[in-house]
Structure 1
Amino acid sequence: MKKALILCLLLVTGVAFAQNEADSTLKWLTNLEKAQKIAKKKNKPILVYFTGSDWCAPCKKLKQDFFESEKFVSQAENMVLVIIDRPRRMDIISEEQLAYNKTVIAKYNKENTFPKLVMLNAKGKKKGEISGYSQLRDTSHHFAFLEKYSR
């Protein structure tokens, strides 16, 4: 019985570690100006992801189905990634970060729709956007968006 329990714990730990490793391969920035400098230097577009990480159910599903997919992770190398979170809980991000995020939302997500993806060029000019996520959990529209605007 002890051996089975230990084996089970090792298996669960290994799966959790592997998932965290996959998540950590993405480099999400939280400052758009810093992202623009990197984008100019590397000649890459900027993908801005607007999320309500602690309250937005479609955001959580999109993260799991789209952003954590192998397909997205491989395509992310061609973009500079920025996450702009608008959580309700105040312990998720600092007050300074929340204030900054609100200024970015006011400029690029005036409708306050979550989740929302906005593709910018290196100078901060909007190339395209897509809002929402289907209850059917179909990521094809999001991948089509990347295909169209990440070049």
Structure 2
Amino acid sequence: MKKIFNKTIIVSSVIVGGLVVMSFVNNTDKNNKQDNTQAETEYKATMEGWEVDVNVAYELSKKSGKPIMANFTGSDWCGWCIKLKNEVFVKPEFKAWAKKNVILLELDFPRKKQIPEEIKQQNYGMQKAFAVTGYPTIWVFNLSKSDSGQFNIDAIGKTGYVAGGPAKFQEGVDAMIKQHKEK
């Protein structure tokens, strides 16, 4: 299983396919399109400093040279996700570390909160690409784009809830990144 994720994974067909279908559906009703556009511009991550759009995270990663750290979460129902957020992600020391080391991407699967359909399709595409079956799952990876515009994923590693606060969590992610660079 580990070997599969250490190789480059092409996911754009899943993401693009979902986005194409959704753009077709959204274009069938002008009022619906306006409502969705407004919702998409207003939709933000549950935590400050996190992106919700893979394309934005890709551009930031490409510009900075930092890997993307994606948090697959059920922000309004998953107890371990909420615990990880409260014990690690909202802490100043984590925010300072993240700013220097990674691009943060939130891929949320809420039950109560509505998210734009385009983001929902993107999140499910990423969930499928990384074979995520439980929450929270944190994947660290690099993205590149082929000449055809498809994303290629270079998976660095994954983790989940780690007891011990920001220092322990960061230590694990730093070790993943270091090991990946040494390959």
TM over 0.5: yes
1:103 corresponds to: 125
Identity of aligned residues (%): 28
Question: Does the 8 A contact of 1:44 with 1:122 survive in 2?
Answer: no
Unaligned runs of 5+ residues in structure 2 are 1-45, 145-152, 179-183
Q: Which residue matches 1:118? A: 139
Partner secondary structure for residue 48 of structure 1: strand
User: 4+ runs of 1 displaced by more than 3 Å?
Assistant: none
1:143 and 2:165 matched? no
In structure 2, the residue matched to 1:52 is 74
Structure 1 gaps of 5+ residues are 1-22
2-structure distance, mates of 1:83, 1:57: 16
Residue 56 of structure 2: aligned partner: 34
Amino acid at match of 2:96: S
Q: Which residue of 2 aligns with 1:86?
A: 109
Q: d(CA) in 2 for partners of 1:68 and 1:103?
A: 27
TM-score (norm 2): 0.60
Partner of 2:13: none
> Max radius of gyration: which structure?
1
Letter in 2 for 1:128: G
The partner residue of 2:159 within 125, 130, 136 is 130
Shift of 1:52: 0.3
How many pairs does the alignment contain?
123
User: Secondary structure of 2:158's match?
Assistant: strand
Q: Deviations over 1:28-56 (max 9, x none)?
A: 11122321121111111111011001110
Secondary structure of the 1:53 match is coil
Kindly report the root-mean-square deviation, in angstroms, between the aligned alpha carbons of the 2 structures: 2.1
